[in-house]
Each structure stands twice: as C-alpha cells, then as structure tokens.
C-alpha cells in the first residue's frame, strides 16, 4: 500500500511517477498528443462544449487564494497515492468511486500487466476480468462497463477514445469527472474541473461550495468562480490532499496549514457530516 503520509510532516521517499495518460487507450493517431501526467494547460476557446457549460460568474470565497496556496505547499512533495498511482484513465473511471484509491490503483496495475489493450480486453472473458479488478466495488458491474466501453470504442471510435465530453460520457461507466480528466490528459483540452469524492468533500469543507449535493453541483459552482488557470491542477491537488490530510473521516486539522482559514477546522469529527464522507 502506498504511503499516505506527506513529507511535509514526515520525510519519506517518493515513489517513481508512472504515466497516467499512456494507460488504457489505444494510441492510433501519431499526431495526437497524450500526456503522462496532468500539467498546466491553456484554456481552448474553441472547445464549444466548455463554452456551452459555462455558468454565470459567482463571487469567489474570501480566503480561497490563501487556502489554495496552503494546499499547494502541503502537496509540494507530491507523495500522495494519486501522484504515484495516477488514477486518471478511463478504466480507472469505470472503477467504483467509493473504492479506496489504493484498491483501484492495484486493480489497474493488474489490468496493465494483463495487457490493457482493446483487443486483449475484448478477448478476455468476464470471469478473468473480474478476477483482475476484484475487490473494486461493484466489480461485476464494472466488468460489464469495461467490456461494453471497449466494444464501443472499437465499433464506433476506430479504437480510440472520443475527443469530446459528450462522446466520453456516452461510454458505459464514464461520467463527467472522468470525461473532463480524459479530455485534459488525452486531448490537451481543458473542458472542466474533474470533481471526484475528494474534491467534492474538500470544496465543501473549505467553503468553496454551498449546499452542493453531487459532484456535478460542485463542478459547476467551482467553475463559476475559480480562475481557469487553476482548473487543470485542482483535481490532483485536492485528491492528494484528501488522501493524506483532509481525509473523509478524521481529517488531520491540527497538522493542516489551513486550520486558521478553514471554516471546518474547528468542527469535531462528529460534526463533519456523513454527507461529506461519500
Ligand atoms: S483544516 Fe481540517 S477540514 Fe479544513 S482543510 Fe485542513 S484538514 Fe481539511
């Protein structure tokens, strides 16, 4: 199991970064750039779907800049599981969001060792695929998603992944979170913020969102005020922060640089509601 301790608090060796973008999808076109790790990407005005989704600008939370700067400082060593496991592939996205990150990463590692190509996945029977991804939550359903998504990629997308959020979301088991992350990692297009359970929870705790019930609510609220230059980095920053410090249960507030500027810092763990720990 990967370390969940940050060298900000105790010094540990970083694991070698693994490529995230190179996993899974078939690389058909040589002139299409794929990224191995999220890096800052300029917003593309020509991405119609992003423009269509833009909501009215909202006022930014008062302390967001200080809070984000603190998170960057606490995440500077990039020692979280997300930094080393790179849960940013389509097959990762098909994994159950309530499954622990380490379990998902281990399942992906087994899939890659098995050979994570379309033809190989399609040639693998469901029982073997299930064995490879178990104990990811709802693994039987995920096997079905992986198989059907692979068939759809082969039949309708020339063995590549779609280059639009709508196209990605049309694949079985792929939702907006993975679609936006895939657009950034695979197609160099910044179409939106990838909001998973960590981003959803931490944004609420920091006061960056108000009464956001679902990750999609969080995404829309964040995109209404967070400057675009932070969109590409915020997912990985907050996911790692959520894995190491601002954990679903018992966040380490006393160790957190945000304790003086976080509205949730003084909450007892009983007051950090179950709804935040999805
Ligand atoms: S102070 Fe606590 S709740 Fe607030 S961001 Fe830090 S760890 Fe999370």
Per-residue pLDDT tens over the stretch 173-182: 999 999 999 9
Catalytic residue among 33, 98, 154, 177: 177
259 lines ligand 1 (CB under 6 A): yes
Q: Is the CB of 68 under 6 A from ligand 1?
A: no
Per CATH, the architecture of 57-79+193-277 is what?
A: Orthogonal Bundle (1.10)
Asked about 98 being catalytic, the answer comes back as no
Please tell me the distance from the alpha carbon of residue 210 to that of residue 216, in angstroms, as a whole number. 13
Backbone torsions φ then ψ of 105, nearest 5 degrees: -65, -40
pLDDT for 269: 52
Nearest CA to ligand 1 atom 8: 246
| Confidence (pLDDT) at 33 | 45
Domain with CATH 1.10.340.30 in the chain: 87-187
pLDDT at 60: 96
In the chain, residues under CATH classification 1.10.1670.10 are 57-79+193-277
pLDDT value of residue 230 = 97
Q: Is the CB of 205 under 6 A from ligand 1?
A: yes
Q: What is the CATH number of domain 87-187?
A: 1.10.340.30
Count the alpha carbons within 13 Å of 179 in the hemisphere toward its beta carbon. Answer: 21
- Intervals of the chain under pLDDT 50: 1-52, 87-97, 275, 277-278
Write phi, then psi, for 3 (nearest 5 degrees): -65, 140
pTM for this entry:
0.71
């Amino acid at each position: 199991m990967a370390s969940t301790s940050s060298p900000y608090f105790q010094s540990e060796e970083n694991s070698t970064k693994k490529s995230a973008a190179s996993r899974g999808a078939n690389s058909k076109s040589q002139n299409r750039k794929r990224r191995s790790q999220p890096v800052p990407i300029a917003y593309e005005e020509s991405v119609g779907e992003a423009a269509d989704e833009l909501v009215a600008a909202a006022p930014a939370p008062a302390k967001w800049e200080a809070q984000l700067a603190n998170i960057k400082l606490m995440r500077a060593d990039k020692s979280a599981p997300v930094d080393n496991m790179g849960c940013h592939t389509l097959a990762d996205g098909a994994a159950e969001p309530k499954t622990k990150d380490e379990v998902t990463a281990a399942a992906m590692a087994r899939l890659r060792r098995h050979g994570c190509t379309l033809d190989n996945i399609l040639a693998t029977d469901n029982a073997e695929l299930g064995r490879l991804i178990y104990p990811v939550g709802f693994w039987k359903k995920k096997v079905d998603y992986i198989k059907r998504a692979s068939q759809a990629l082969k039949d309708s997308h020339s063995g590549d992944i779609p280059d639009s959020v709508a196209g990605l979301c049309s694949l079985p088991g792929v939702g907006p979170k993975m679609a936006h992350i895939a657009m950034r990692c695979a197609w160099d297009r910044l179409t939106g913020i990838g909001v998973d359970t960590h981003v959803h929870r931490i944004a609420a705790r920091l006061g960056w969102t108000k009464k956001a019930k679902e990750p999609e609510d969080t995404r829309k609220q964040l995109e209404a005020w967070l400057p675009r230059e932070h969109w590409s980095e915020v997912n990985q920053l907050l996911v790692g922060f959520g894995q190491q410090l601002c954990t679903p249960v018992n966040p380490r507030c006393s160790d957190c640089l945000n304790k003086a500027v976080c509205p949730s810092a003084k909450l007892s763990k009983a007051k950090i509601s179950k709804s935040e720990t999805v």
